[in-house]
Amino acid sequence: MSAAHDVSLSPYAPVGRVLVVAATTRELAPSHGWHVVRCGVGPVDAAVATSAALATAPRAWRAVLHIGIAGARERAKLPLGTVVLGDASHYDDLGVPEQFAPRVAHPDAGLLAAARQALPDATVQPIATTARVGGSHSALIEAMEGFAVLRAAERAGVPALEVRVISNLIEEQDRSRWAFDHAFARVLAITPTLVAALAHAMASTD
């Protein structure tokens, strides 16, 4: 876990009460007052890192923004660079009945609405979480940490939202055609807008 050390958790600094979680350093925009956590790749490290960060100040956090890149199925017909706001995060690696463990985590409705207003060109779709490239089956968008982050936030009682930028088609085997640089740049560009929108939305509920 990597966190900024100069962040105020004062209730008078709304963006300082937003926790931005991303798998890698390239997906974390420079902080302008919000707290950042590099959670690592995959659902296990993501759940552990997010839970640990939320536990440091359980009453301070007002929102979790989980952001990063993702793959899309060809039939989704989404251009590379498309921003996806997750209206559900599905855990596709879990194969037990729902009564034993949840497989779907939902974003906070207020955060999703705020993100839609801030990024009107974004698409809203479910996002699958799987530790294997190509391992998704429940959604057309595939990433590796979303369910874990949202589930950790849910357990901590903190509203959360998953946002992704499409970097590749899942079926594309030639990784030289995956647009990592473009997707990373888009992630960094939209993060301040999203943090401000989420902070404003949660402040309005205080």
Instruction: Kindly state the average pLDDT of the residues 168-183.
Output: 96
Q: CA 78 to CA 98: how far, in whole Å?
A: 31
pLDDT for residue 5 is more than 90? no
**Chain segment 43-61, per-residue pLDDT in tens:** 999 999 999 999 988 778 9
pLDDT at 36: 96
- 14-203 belongs to CATH 2.130.10.10: no
Sign of the C-alpha dihedral computed for residues 169, 191, 9 and 2 taken in this order: positive
* C-alpha to C-alpha distance for 62 and 159, rounded to whole angstroms: 7
The contacts of residue 17 (CB under 8 Å, 6+ apart) are 9, 11, 60, 61, 62, 63, 199, 202
How does pLDDT run across 58-99, given as a tens digit for each residue?
Answer: 778 999 999 999 999 999 999 999 999 999 999 999 988 888
- DSSP annotation of 180 reads H
Model confidence band, residue 4 (pLDDT cutoffs 50, 70, 90): very low
Quick check: 12 pLDDT over 70? no
**Can you give the pTM of this predicted structure?**
0.91
